[in-house]
Amino acid sequence: MAKTRTTLTIDEDVFRAVKIKAARTGKRDSQVIEESLRRDLGMDDLDDIWAQVKPAPEEEGLRLAYSELHAMREEKEKHETGRP
Amino acid sequence: MRRVVLDPGVFVSALITPSGSPGLLLREIRGGQMELFVSPRLLAELDEVLRRDKFRRYVSLAAARKYVRLVRNDATVAPDPQVLPPLRSADPKDDYLIALAHSQNAILVSGDKHLLDLCGGGAPILSPVDLLVAVA
């Protein structure tokens, strides 16, 4: 993903903590800040979920998604109307 | 910023095919490129369909539930529309999606033929890949 340059104004104690963590982990300050923001914004959650998925081929995934959606709606309608 | 409604099939496909166009689109949305809208009915359908047995070979129920929570947290949850949509799908069960997108002034993203057929009539309905091309 493309990077963008920005300027942040943060409390000195937060900045010190960033520097300490960067030094301890061997990462750049910007990496520590980005990882922290990603965690806070929940941006890593999707990758965590995807890491647990056994992927389907795209065509199969799309076909299955809609066939099951339509089947689910059909069953629900039958259940609600009492139709056999 | 573009405003989008993804139909439940696109969400499901994005989950089980992360590298496909629905997955790439969801990544773009989460990157802040677009504003996502859902409604309680859409979330309920997504939750219900992902509980079906056929998806267990791809994703666990726990991960699927986490995914639905993530979608709910990421999106703006709009009320279910109470009015009929300006256009009607050949499948009436899709009409709430058209109404939701219309009420939120959003593009409806779908892989469903019935809905995509309406695109020819000028309705703001696009496939995931067409929207990705449009924003590239």
- pLDDT per residue, tens digit, chain B (136 aa), is 899 999 999 999 999 999 999 999 999 998 888 999 999 999 999 999 999 999 999 999 999 999 999 999 889 999 999 888 777 877 889 999 999 999 999 999 999 988 888 876 667 999 999 999 988 8
Q: How many domains does chain A have?
A: 2
pLDDT of residue B120: 67
Domain that holds residue B117: 2-135
Q: Are residues A12 and A49 in the same domain?
A: yes
* In the predicted structure, residue A1 carries a pLDDT above the cut 70: no
Residue A2 lies in a domain: no
Per-residue HEC secondary structure of B94-109 comes to HHHHHHHHHHCCCEEE
* Minimal Cβ distance to B54: which of A57, A64, A73: A64
**Is A16 in a helix, a strand, or coil?**
helix
The pLDDT value given to residue B76: 93
pLDDT, residue B121, reads 65
- What does the pLDDT look like over A31-50, one tens digit per residue? 899 888 877 776 668 989 99
Whether residues A49 and A60 share a domain: the answer is no
Please give the Cα distance from B105 to B122 (Å, whole number): 14
B→A contacts (Cβ < 8 Å), by residue, are: 8-10, 12-13, 15-23, 26-27, 30-31, 45, 48-49, 52, 54-55, 57-60, 63, 66-67, 70, 73-74, 91, 93, 111-112
Q: What is the pTM of this model?
A: 0.81
Phi-psi region of B97 (alpha: psi -120 to 50; beta: other; left: phi over 0): alpha
- At residue B91, the pLDDT reads 83
Residue A74, domain extent: 56-84
Contact at 8 Å (CB) between B71 and B38? yes
Are A75 and A48 in the same domain? Answer: no
| One-letter-per-residue 3-state SS of chain B | CEEEEECHHHHHHHHHCCCCHHHHHHHHHHHHHEEEEECHHHHHHHHHHHCCHHHCCCCCHHHHHHHHHHHHHHCEECCCCCCCCCCCCCCHHHHHHHHHHHHCCCEEECCCHHHHHHHHHCCCEECHHHHHHHHC
Confidence of residue A79 (pLDDT cuts 50, 70, 90): confident
